[in-house]
A and B are shown apart, each in its own frame.
Chain A
Amino acid sequence: MAELTADRATEIMTVNIGPHHPATHGVLRLIVDLEGEIVRDLKPVIGYVHTGIEKSCEDKSYWKVIPFVERMDYVSYFFQMEAYCGAVERLVGLEIPPRAKYLRTIFLELCRIHSHLVWLGTTALDLGAISMLWYCFRERDRILDLFEMATGQRMHTRYFQVGGVIEDIPLGFEDKLRSFVEDMPVRAAQYQALLDRNEVFLQRTKGVGIVSRERLLELGVSGPLLRAAGEPWDLRKAFDYLAYPELEFKIPVGTVGDNYDRYRVRLAEMVESAKIVGQALEALPAGPFIAEDRKYVLPPRSELSTSMESLIHHFKLVTEGFRVDPGEVYYSIESPRGELGCFVLADGSSKPARVHFRDPSFVNLQAFREMALDSYVADMICSLGMLDPILGGVDR
């Protein structure tokens, strides 16, 4: 009985949260030390959805790896494809045609909006704003419709190929995309109007989960989390890849780096991405949508019945795949969560000897402890949502 009368406020209690919990945004387990309702220590435990994708890739020819890597971060699948295809293109020294660059840029930015919409809907849901989920998923559905129209699949499209994209956009796609690009900034403004005047949302996010910019850089954090802390670092601006150097867009940054800034940065990014898509659509160059190097790229279907050589190339590519001279490449792009890097090691055969993804969720998750320390449990859930980890990408 003596324990019961002791001062309860100073008692530290270790609580297990997850791995199956709707607020952990995936299969994430948290071991939390609580003092009353305050988080005093925290350790994320990951690996529950580890499926050995990197290992499986070593057993597949180069072109068969593409659908595998898409399934890592299942919300931003186009980015995995681009990181991998870009790395292989750099390994074999293949230049992709301008139209493919623009098409890839369009689909990447649509996917970024898609990813941010899923994030906004689910995170606002964590804070009790259930209507945001319906609104965000309404817009997300329009993006998935566009993906389906162009690629035949709503998710995991296998649209990017080594050398370009698998096929050109269909008739009527441009009109549909244009109307989406016009609507998206209006929708984003509506989301902002809903959330920015919501006192509950503001109180739950402002001043919560602050980690200094210097500390974030030490922890290797990149993407919207870093930009919300005031660091204007974006690989789309810093490095020269795809059509980004030819397009005009801004990098939204925050000031204090709390959860409210993280929300504002991502919301502004959606508008910027819509602008990029609109510009890329207007400037979309004519010409081939995939490189014409028959050693790496499948010949057009129509040539197979008339050209023996095309048939041989087709046969070689489909059965064995193309071989890549020994070498290694690290290629990184700006995904919705930060720096997504892909390392590919070639050993001269038709299968990669190593495919490694530097997944931004995996690295960013290290900042979670400091975001949540000395805050309430409820704020910890909010911080986790604002961190936006995708556990498929974390565990690979």
Chain B
Amino acid sequence: MPDAPGLELIRSEIERDRPGGVLATSFDRGQAALVVDPAQILAVLGWLRDEPGQRYRFLSSLHVADYLPAEPRFGVHYELLNRDRVERIRVKAMLADPGDDALPEIDSCVELFPTAEAQEREAFDFFGIEFRGHPDLTRILMPEDYVGWPQRRDFPVGGEPVTFTYNEHRYG
């Protein structure tokens, strides 16, 4: 982990090379995070990956959290890892819910990190985040004809009837 001053240093360097990329930083419970402008996510991720002093070349995890009722509600998290310095940094892009069944959108980082392919599909499957430029953005764990975004906070737990043969006539 970069420490709190190290995080500010990273922020000011990104500000120099990619102005407006970082909106905020947070250093909480020993973990450093950059809150990034979703429109510039690829610029910042690419900078963190390729800048000689940074080299966060390993994307450990890409996942989404729903911060409902906060606004913007969706946070796309990128857990980056520098294996030489053994440091992790979290990049967060907050996306607002556009409403009216439209999906929040963000650029896909599959070109930068091929490992994100399945994880972006998972994020799409459960939260309905549209990753622009993803080669095959389809449902991955839920059935392909499923309707709804089951891990959003406003999707009820147990909202899905379990189709055993004995209750088939009830739920069809």
Residue B151 contacts which of A54, A332, A341, A395 (CB distance < 8 angstroms)?
A54
Give the contacts of A76-107 with B (CB-CB under 8 A).
90-91, 93
Residue B65 contacts which of A90, A353, A358, A366 (CB distance < 8 angstroms)?
A353
B150:A55 contact, CB within 8 angstroms? yes
For A44, give the chain B residue with the smallest CB separation: B118
Digitize B65-97: 1 where CB-to-A-CB distance is under 8 Å, 0 elsewhere.
Answer: 111000000000101000100101010000000
Residues of chain A within 8 A of B126, CB atoms compared: 54
B119:A363 contact, CB within 8 angstroms? yes
B157:A358 contact, CB within 8 angstroms? no
> Is the CB of A343 closer than 8 A to any CB of chain B?
yes
> Is the CB of B35 closer than 8 A to any CB of chain A?
no
Residues of chain B within 8 A of A47, CB atoms compared: 139-143
For A45, give the chain B residue with the smallest CB separation: B140
> Is the CB of B114 closer than 8 A to any CB of chain A?
yes
Give Cα distance in the complex from A219 to B58, angstroms.
9
Residue B29 contacts which of A56, A327, A395 (CB distance < 8 angstroms)?
A327
B141:A46 contact, CB within 8 angstroms? yes
> Is the CB of A218 closer than 8 A to any CB of chain B?
yes
> Is the CB of B132 closer than 8 A to any CB of chain A?
no
Give Cα distance in the complex from A59 to B151, angstroms.
12
Give Cα distance in the complex from A218 to B29, angstroms.
29
14 pairs of residues in contact across A and B, judged by CB atoms under 8 Å: A47-B141, A50-B142, A55-B157, A58-B153, A218-B113, A218-B114, A219-B114, A220-B58, A220-B59, A328-B65, A330-B90, A362-B122, A363-B118, A366-B115
- The list of the 9 closest CB pairs from A to B, nearest first, reads A220-B115, A358-B61, A47-B141, A50-B141, A356-B63, A59-B157, A354-B65, A238-B86, A218-B114
Contact size class for A?
35 or more
**A217 to B: closest C-beta gap in Å:** 6
Residue positions of A touching B, CB distance < 8 A: 46-47, 50, 52, 54-56, 58-59, 90-91, 93, 217-221, 233, 238-239, 327-330, 332, 339, 341, 343, 345, 353-354, 356, 358, 362-363, 365-366, 395-396
**B123 to A: closest C-beta gap in Å:** 10
Residues of chain B within 8 A of A58, CB atoms compared: 153, 157
Residues of chain A within 8 A of B31, CB atoms compared: 328-330
Count residues on chain B whose CB falls below 8 Å from chain A CBs: 39
Residues of chain A within 8 A of B30, CB atoms compared: 90
> Is the CB of B105 closer than 8 A to any CB of chain A?
no
For A328, give the chain B residue with the smallest CB separation: B65
> Is the CB of B28 closer than 8 A to any CB of chain A?
yes
A332:B60 contact, CB within 8 angstroms? yes
Residues of chain B within 8 A of A52, CB atoms compared: 150, 160
Give Cα distance in the complex from A343 to B77, angstroms.
10
Residue A327 contacts which of B28, B116, B117, B122 (CB distance < 8 angstroms)?
B28
Residue A341 contacts which of B60, B122, B140 (CB distance < 8 angstroms)?
B60
A218:B115 contact, CB within 8 angstroms? yes
Give Cα distance in the complex from A362 to B83, angstroms.
21
> Is the CB of B134 closer than 8 A to any CB of chain A?
no
A341:B61 contact, CB within 8 angstroms? yes
Give Cα distance in the complex from A91 to B28, angstroms.
9
Give Cα distance in the complex from A46 to B90, angstroms.
28
A356:B142 contact, CB within 8 angstroms? no
Q: A218-B115, A363-B118 are in contact. Are A55 and B65 (CB under 8 A)?
A: no
Given contacts A218-B113, A328-B28, A358-B61, 20 further A-B contacts (CB under 8 A): A46-B141, A47-B140, A55-B150, A55-B151, A55-B157, A90-B29, A93-B29, A220-B114, A239-B86, A330-B77, A330-B88, A332-B61, A341-B60, A343-B61, A343-B63, A345-B65, A345-B67, A353-B153, A362-B119, A366-B118
